[in-house]
Amino acid sequence: YEMADNQAFVFPLGQGNQSPGFPDDFGARDLPPTTLCAKFVVTSDGAVRDAAMLDDPGCIDPATQPLLAAAVLEAVSAWRFEPAVFCDYPDAATRDRDWNGKGCAGDAVEAKPVAVTLAYAFTFEVRNGRRQIGAARVGGR
């Protein structure tokens, strides 16, 4: 999206979304840090659709870890968000005065929820049988 001087943008906010877990039948006792990435659309009502694995730099080919890839897709498909929002103000001066950096604020603002595509990286690791998973948003599109 391109914004005009009188607009502001609010990124979607996750609603208690849980990272994927290791599948029950994942038997590896050791796994070096292994990063899988997924992208999905957060709709204008906060639902997730079109979840898919990414084969981008820094992310492994999901075909090499199909059980973990399936766990990622299952988890992100269940996520919910406060949707992304465009805040339209009458002019740039009003935006500068009323915009609070967190959401559409002010009496003269028009809030328009919009769909966005997000990407997340999930790093799975097993050391001496101890499982760890990290998650980070890697971009918005």
85-123: pLDDT as tens digits: 999 999 999 999 999 888 899 999 999 999 999 999 999
pLDDT band for 139, please (50, 70, 90 cuts): low
CA triplet 37, 123, 42: central angle to 5 degrees?
Answer: 40
pLDDT at 141 over 50: no
Global pTM value? 0.88
What's the pLDDT tens digit per position in 42-78? Answer: 999 999 999 999 988 889 999 999 999 999 999 999 9
Q: Residue 140 pLDDT > 60, yes or no?
A: no
* Rg of the chain (C-alpha set): 19
What is the per-residue pLDDT across 15-43, written as a single tens digit (0 to 9) for each?
Answer: 999 999 999 888 878 999 999 999 999 99
First and final C-alpha spacing in the chain: 8
pLDDT for res 129: 85
C-alpha span between 42 and 60 (Å, rounded): 24
